[in-house]
């Protein structure tokens, strides 16, 4: 027997019992083995033989594997008699050894060793369901033990509750409250979670888009129907104090150049809602924070104090709150009042879900049922979280000043805000809402509800009737866009659940009711808007909001009363606690430009917290289409308005959004294999995942500075545009977005061709000066490092996408467009990937060098490229030339020496600035972002798509103010505003028309 077979046989038989003996050719003449102690070779001395004895016999006589030929004599195999005691003792030892061998794991300590080799699979190591059922439990335990190796073992609690038990109202409510600790839930979260793709963003769980296809249907709803959105994630900050002190403090955060401020006449009266742009205190036009909506409470003759609500995006809430505390000098925090026990408790009254550290001190025994929370008589039932569930009960929400009488309140999640978009928004509201009825209340009676006390005031009842009449006039309005922008209507309505239809219906205009409306009053409503006294509502009072929230009729009680009706389907009686104060705020449609003016108008519905679903379901039953964050972006795009924070690159929130977007797009790009993704270096796209606005504004300042007073750009050397040393020039000042209404109107007129300048001029605007070099230089000197918000319409085919380049057309391009208006456009020559060329050259050199053979592991790595470029500098080929600019006023041709410098600098800095080189992307530092391609880059697109309104591609983006003025001066009068667009993944330029919206 060979040594390998001997060792293998010894390994297999090492766990066999010591009483097992094997016959040899010496004991059995015919070479047969009896295989046990029951043969003739059985003796007492053989019980002591173990593996060593087995080996001695094997060496003496040898071992023959397999079945032997020849008959076996029966008298030699079977004994004539046996000793029962000795036989049983031997069999018992064999059974014990067999059980020990079976229960003992193999050397690798895996369950898979219990399986035969033909049943073992590699996937069993991470998917225990591929194992037989008898081994899955053991495999799961071993897998969990390996995960927790080195950690402190915790006692596992058994999951004894079934799904039915977990779905009970009490248990489900505790689970929902626990999940609201990290991210805030809107009151419509459960409704959205069943129908939408949810997204955790800005500290909220928000619906991004529906799970069904409804993109075109949502656009039709905004154009001819009604689209419903939950805007309750917007944060509300309340200010309370004397009007003069509030005006003085808030004037430091705004500027009249950007539009209406907090001091607008119509807004101060409370008749209209205003929109403004907030800046850091006394920092205009630099350091913007973001847009805001504000609403003043109408003046009250009984008090000289005013109240103001400011609605902002959640990303700038803390920044604005800090600025308000500085300008208002409100640094003294007001401790929150002691919590009570209402029917629907707020966040401070909520018993949070039990954590591992909050469990009872009694030991937990696995396998036994734990006591369900709330089983005891003293335990209070869980309450639903209304408002901000992530806020601690001791967190202050109010601040006051020791210098003045101003008080700041944080009203986030205290007011529910719904947005209805479309021409039928007012029709949906008139069908859903019903002004409060049964206003005759006994004056002597007392009630704990707010409405009976409110009805005792005759002035309040007179105002309520006036508001109800104005609300009835809305039935005679054909479209929401006919009303003045921002008008406000306060109202008190009945619970809309009382008039909920049995089936879902589609709201439509009531032509009969429109004919019954007084035409003169309707015309006065569309021209002047809602009267200022009708904007008053009880929703401004904190006590009224708490009373309405705490005394709301629960859905369970409402359904119980419906079941007890004598006539099924009839209307329930109105309860004293079913009156809800609301506020209707009109939202203006498209106001910029001349096409589709008034598109996208609608209403905002403001409610007290706790009543979200009570109004949401009746609105849905009127046939509205529900949208999410995606439709909010498309709504802003169709209205030609910048969407926050996407189109605010100079705000801190916009900078954070751009960084997050770059990381997301880069990770998506890396997930694809190199052969299946776009090589942006060959497409001439330096930054496909972000927009280097600072570099763009600085380079255009250099280009125009080199031009001088002659108006023509001189030939610039490569050192002036591209930093060969790889060091970026420190910016003199941060860029800003131009938001001056006066300058934007001037640019809007200049960017139009001469054939389109006969459009009407807005009332009160001064005549625009002519475009010449002097006016352009004056404007450029006043607004340096500025970006201009523009709208781009593709003239022919083409669909602009994210980060599409906006380029300046050459004189030849404009001549081609004049000859053939249907011309596709020029094409960008394919660029040379110098980094890939250096990697290939390095691998060839290592293959040719016998002293330093190239290893496959080192080929194509950044370190290898760095070593190759630093060790030797080989001459570049003539074919490695970079595409030069063909602009007549910008000759940026790159010589071979400059090209060699670019390649050497890219290879040298590859390991320093970009340790992980990504194929197809330019590493830092980037070359010139404006003159890198054959057409000079003017700006980039921030959002673009196919416009369902115009039937072609439209995009919104930013361009450099200096570059825009330079382009307009060099273009003919009848072709001003013509630009070229090119997608990052394409080499084809397409003609487009640029519009400056003002």
Q: What is the pLDDT of residues 349-382, one digit of tens each?
A: 333 333 333 333 344 444 444 444 444 444 556 6
Are 400 and 419 within one domain? no
Q: Distance between CA atoms of 227 and 214, rounded to whole angstroms?
A: 12
- Note whether residue 626 is domain-resident: yes
For range 575-582, the mean pLDDT: 88
- 845-882 pLDDT per residue, tens: 666 654 444 443 343 333 333 434 333 333 333 333 33
Higher-scoring residue by pLDDT: 125, 977: 977
248 pLDDT tier (thresholds 50, 70, 90): very high
- Note whether residue 132 is domain-resident: no
What pLDDT score does 892 carry? 39
Contact 488, 540 (CB under 8 A): no
Lowest mean pLDDT among 396-410, 438-452, 584-598, 925-939: 438-452
Q: What percent of the chain lies above the pLDDT cut of 90? A: 41
Give the position of tokens 């509750």: 161
Are 227 and 238 within one domain? no
Q: Distance between CA atoms of 329 and 323, rounded to whole angstroms?
A: 9
User: Is pLDDT at 663 greater than 60 in this prediction?
Assistant: yes
- CATH code, 802: 2.40.30.110
Are 541 and 624 within one domain? yes
Q: At a CB cut-off of 8 Å and minimum separation 6, what does 801 contact? A: 941, 944, 945, 983, 984, 985
φ, ψ dihedrals at 332, nearest 5° = -90, 115
What pLDDT score does 208 carry? 94
Q: Distance between CA atoms of 890 and 867, rounded to whole angstroms?
A: 36
Give the position of tokens 């000197």: 781
Nearest residue to 813 (alpha-carbon basis) of 969, 931, 938, 979: 979
**625 - beta bridge partners?**
227
Are 489 and 620 within one domain? yes
Contact 310, 237 (CB under 8 A): yes
CA 962 to each of CA 247, 647, 779: distance values in angstroms, whole numbers, following the listed order: 36, 20, 9
Q: Distance between CA atoms of 508 and 230, rounded to whole angstroms?
A: 22
Q: Distance between CA atoms of 36 and 928, rounded to whole angstroms?
A: 89
- Note whether residue 348 is domain-resident: no
Q: Is 438 helix (H, G, I), strand (E, B) or coil?
A: coil
- CATH code, 607: 3.30.1360
Number of H helices, E strands in the chain: 32, 23
Last residue of a domain, one of 584, 616, 641: 641
Higher-scoring residue by pLDDT: 764, 964: 964
- Note whether residue 318 is domain-resident: yes
- CATH code, 306: 3.30.70.1400
Q: What percent of the chain lies above the pLDDT cut of 70? A: 74
What pLDDT score does 263 carry? 92
Residue-by-residue DSSP string for 569-630 = TPPPPPPGGGEEEEEEEEE----SSSSSTTTT-EEEEEEETT-HHHHHHHHHTTTPEE--HH
User: Is pLDDT at 475 greater than 80 in this prediction?
Assistant: yes
- Note whether residue 890 is domain-resident: no
Q: Quick one: tokens of 401?
A: 């000043």
Last residue of a domain, one of 602, 619, 641: 641
Are 216 and 282 within one domain? no
CA 509 to each of CA 196, 501, 736: distance values in angstroms, whole numbers, following the listed order: 29, 17, 46
Helices 896-908 + 862-871 axis angle, to 10 = 130
Among 262-266, 367-371, 572-576, the range of highest mean pLDDT: 262-266
- 767-788 pLDDT per residue, tens: 778 888 888 888 988 898 999 9
Nearest residue to 825 (alpha-carbon basis) of 667, 663, 979: 979
Nearest residue to 964 (alpha-carbon basis) of 794, 748, 757, 767: 748
Q: Distance between CA atoms of 148 and 197, rounded to whole angstroms?
A: 33
What pLDDT score does 150 carry? 63
76 pLDDT tier (thresholds 50, 70, 90): low
- 2-47 pLDDT per residue, tens: 678 888 777 777 766 555 544 444 444 444 444 444 444 444 444 4
Q: Distance between CA atoms of 220 and 79, rounded to whole angstroms?
A: 98
- 973-984 pLDDT per residue, tens: 989 999 999 999
- Note whether residue 714 is domain-resident: no
What pLDDT score does 119 carry? 79
For range 134-158, the mean pLDDT: 73
Higher-scoring residue by pLDDT: 137, 354: 137
User: Is pLDDT at 322 greater than 90 in this prediction?
Assistant: yes
CA 947 to each of CA 634, 743, 835: distance values in angstroms, whole numbers, following the listed order: 10, 28, 39
Higher-scoring residue by pLDDT: 44, 800: 800
Are 581 and 660 within one domain? no
User: Is pLDDT at 737 greater than 90 in this prediction?
Assistant: yes
What pLDDT score does 102 carry? 76
For range 743-759, the mean pLDDT: 81
Are 659 and 523 within one domain? no
Are 530 and 462 within one domain? yes
- Note whether residue 273 is domain-resident: yes
Give just the sign of the alpha carbon dihedral 562, 565, 568, 574. negative
The residue count for the chain: 998
Nearest residue to 487 (alpha-carbon basis) of 537, 436, 525: 525
Contact 467, 435 (CB under 8 A): yes
Residue 39 carries which DSSP code?
S
For range 101-106, the mean pLDDT: 68
Are 688 and 740 within one domain? yes
Domain that holds residue 314: 234-334+394-412
Are 527 and 404 within one domain? no
For range 917-938, the mean pLDDT: 89
- Number of folded domains that form the chain: 3
Produce one character per residue of 910-948: b if its CB has 16 or more CB atoms within 10 Å, e if not. bbeebeebebbbbbebebbbbbbbbbbbbbbbbbbbebe
Are 425 and 489 within one domain? yes
Give the position of tokens 């005031």: 457
For range 713-724, the mean pLDDT: 37
What pLDDT score does 761 carry? 54
CA 538 to each of CA 464, 582, 692, 707: distance values in angstroms, whole numbers, following the listed order: 11, 8, 49, 64
Helices (H), 302-440: 317-328, 425-432
Are 325 and 433 within one domain? no
Last residue of a domain, one of 641, 666, 684: 641
Nearest residue to 938 (alpha-carbon basis) of 896, 881, 996: 996
Helices 862-871 + 834-848 axis angle, to 10 = 70
What pLDDT score does 159 carry? 57
For range 546-557, the mean pLDDT: 90
3-state SS string for 692-754:
CHHHHHHHHHHHHHHHHHHCCCCCCCHHHHCCCCCCCCCCCCCCEECCCHHHHHHHHHHCCCH
For range 480-504, the mean pLDDT: 91
Q: Quick one: tokens of 730?
A: 């420190």
Q: Please report which helix (H) or strand (E) contains residue 293, including its range.
A: strand 288-296
- Note whether residue 13 is domain-resident: no
Residue-by-residue DSSP string for 201-269 = ETTEEEEEEESS--HHHHHHHHHHS-EEEE-TTSEEEEEEEEHHHHHHHHGGG--GGGS--TT-HHHHT
Task: Count Cβ atoms below 10 Å from residue 109 Cβ, excluding itself.
Answer: 8
Residue 506 carries which DSSP code?
-
For range 742-749, the mean pLDDT: 92
What pLDDT score does 457 carry? 82
């Amino acid at each position: 027997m060979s040594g390998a077979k001997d060792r293998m046989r010894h390994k297999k038989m090492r766990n066999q019992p010591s009483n097992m003996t094997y016959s040899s050719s010496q004991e059995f003449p015919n070479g047969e083995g009896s295989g046990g102690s029951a043969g003739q070779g059985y003796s007492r001395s053989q019980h002591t033989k173990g593996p060593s004895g087995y080996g001695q016999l094997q060496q003496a006589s040898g071992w023959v594997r397999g079945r032997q030929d020849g008959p076996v004599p029966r008298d030699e195999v079977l004994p004539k008699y046996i000793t029962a005691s000795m036989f049983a003792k031997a069999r018992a030892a064999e059974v014990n050894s067999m059980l020990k061998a079976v229960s003992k794991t193999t050397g690798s300590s895996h369950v898979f060793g219990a399986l035969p080799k033909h049943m073992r699979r590699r996937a069993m190591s991470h998917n225990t369901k591929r194992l037989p059922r008898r081994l899955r439990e053991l495999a799961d335990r071993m897998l969990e033990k390996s995960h927790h190796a080195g950690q402190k073992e915790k006692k596992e609690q058994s999951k004894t509750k079934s799904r039915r038990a977990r779905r009970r109202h009490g248990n489900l409510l505790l689970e929902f409250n626990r999940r609201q600790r990290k991210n805030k839930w809107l009151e419509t979260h459960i409704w959205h979670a069943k129908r939408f793709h949810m997204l955790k963003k800005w500290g909220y769980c928000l619906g991004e888009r529906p799970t069904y296809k409804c993109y075109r249907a949502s656009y039709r709803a905004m154009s001819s129907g009604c689209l419903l959105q939950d805007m309750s994630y917007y944060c509300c900050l309340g200010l309370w104090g004397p009007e003069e002190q509030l005006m003085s403090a808030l004037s430091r955060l705004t500027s009249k150049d950007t539009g209406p401020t907090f001091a607008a006449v119509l807004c101060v009266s409370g008749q209209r809602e205003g929109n403004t742009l907030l800046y850091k205190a006394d920092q205009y036009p630099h350091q913007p924070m973001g847009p805001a909506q504000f609403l003043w409470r109408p003046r009250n003759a009984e008090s000289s104090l005013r109240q103001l609500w400011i609605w902002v995006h959640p990303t700038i809430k803390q920044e604005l709150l800090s600025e308000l505390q500085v300008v208002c000098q409100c640094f003294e925090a007001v401790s929150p009042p002691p919590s009570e026990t209402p029917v629907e408790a707020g966040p401070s009254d909520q018993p949070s879900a039990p954590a591992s550290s909050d469990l009872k001190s009694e030991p937990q025994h696995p396998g036994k049922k734990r006591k369900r929370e709330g089983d005891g008589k003293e335990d209070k039932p869980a309450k639903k979280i209304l408002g901000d569930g992530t806020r601690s009960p001791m967190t202050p929400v109010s601040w006051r000043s020791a210098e003045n009488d101003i008080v700041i309140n944080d009203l986030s999640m205290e007011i529910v805000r719904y947005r209805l978009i479309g021409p039928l928004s007012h029709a949906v509201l008139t069908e859903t809402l019903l002004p409060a009825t049964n206003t005759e209340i006994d004056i002597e009676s007392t009630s704990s509800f707010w409405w009976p006390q409110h009805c005792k005031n005759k002035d309040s009842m007179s105002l309520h009737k006036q508001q109800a009449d104005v609300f009835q006039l809305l039935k005679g309005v054909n479209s929401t866009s006919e009303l003045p922008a921002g008008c406000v209507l306060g109202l008190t309505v009945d619970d809309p659940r009382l008039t909920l239809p049995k089936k879902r219906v589609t709201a439509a205009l009531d032509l009969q009711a429109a004919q019954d409306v007084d035409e003169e009053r309707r015309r006065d409503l569309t021209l002047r808007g809602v009267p200022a006294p009708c904007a008053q509502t009880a929703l401004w009072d904190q006590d009224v909001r708490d009373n309405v929230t705490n005394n709301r009729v629960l859905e369970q009680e409402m359904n119980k009363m419906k079941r007890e009706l004598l006539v099924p389907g009839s209307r329930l009686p109105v309860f004293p606690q079913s009156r809800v104060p609301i506020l209707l705020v009109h939202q203006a449609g498209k106001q910029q430009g001349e096409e589709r003016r008034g598109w996208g108008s609608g209403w905002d519905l403001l409610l007290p917290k706790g009543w979200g679903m009570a109004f949401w379901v009746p609105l849905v039953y009127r046939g509205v289409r529900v949208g999410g964050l995606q439709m909010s972006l498309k709504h802003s795009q169709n209205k030609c308005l910048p969407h926050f924070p996407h189109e605010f690159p100079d705000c801190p929130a916009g900078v954070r959004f751009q960084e997050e977007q770059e990381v997301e797009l880069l990770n998506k790009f890396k997930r694809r294999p190199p052969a299946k993704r776009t090589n942006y270096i060959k497409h001439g796209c330096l930054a496909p995942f972000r927009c280097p606005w600072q570099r763009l504004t600085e380079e255009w300042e250099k280009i125009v500075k080199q031009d001088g007073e002659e108006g023509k750009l001189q030939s610039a050397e490569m050192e002036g545009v591209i930093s060969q040393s790889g060091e970026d020039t420190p910016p003199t000042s941060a860029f800003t977005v131009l938001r001056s209404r006066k300058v934007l109107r001037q640019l809007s007129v200049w960017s139009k061709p001469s054939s389109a300048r006969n459009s009407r001029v807005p009332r009160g605007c001064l005549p625009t000066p002519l475009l010449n070099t002097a006016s352009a230089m004056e404007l450029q000197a006043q607004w340096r490092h500025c970006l201009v918000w523009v709208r781009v319409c593709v003239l022919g085919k083409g669909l602009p996408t994210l980060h599409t380049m906006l380029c300046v057309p050459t004189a030849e391009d404009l001549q081609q467009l004049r000859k053939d208006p249907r011309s596709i456009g020029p094409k960008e020559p394919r660029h040379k990937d110098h980094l890939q060329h250096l990697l290939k050259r390095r691998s060839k050199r290592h293959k040719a060098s016998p002293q330093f053979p190239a290893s496959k592991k080192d080929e194509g790595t950044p370190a290898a490229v760095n070593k190759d470029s630093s060790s030797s500098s080989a001459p570049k080929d003539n074919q490695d030339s970079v595409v030069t600019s063909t602009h007549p006023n910008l000759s940026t041709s790159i010589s071979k020496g400059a090209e060699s410098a670019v390649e050497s600098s890219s290879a040298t800095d590859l390991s320093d600035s970009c340790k992980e080189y990504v194929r197809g992307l330019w590493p830092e530092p980037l070359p010139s972002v404006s003159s890198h391609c054959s057409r000079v880059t003017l700006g980039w697109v921030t959002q673009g798509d196919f416009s369902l309104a115009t039937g072609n591609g439209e995009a919104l983006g930013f361009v450099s103010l200096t570059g825009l003025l330079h382009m307009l001066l060099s273009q003919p009068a009848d072709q001003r505003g013509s630009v070229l667009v090119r997608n990052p993944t394409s080499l084809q330029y397409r003609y487009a028309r640029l519009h400056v919206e003002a």
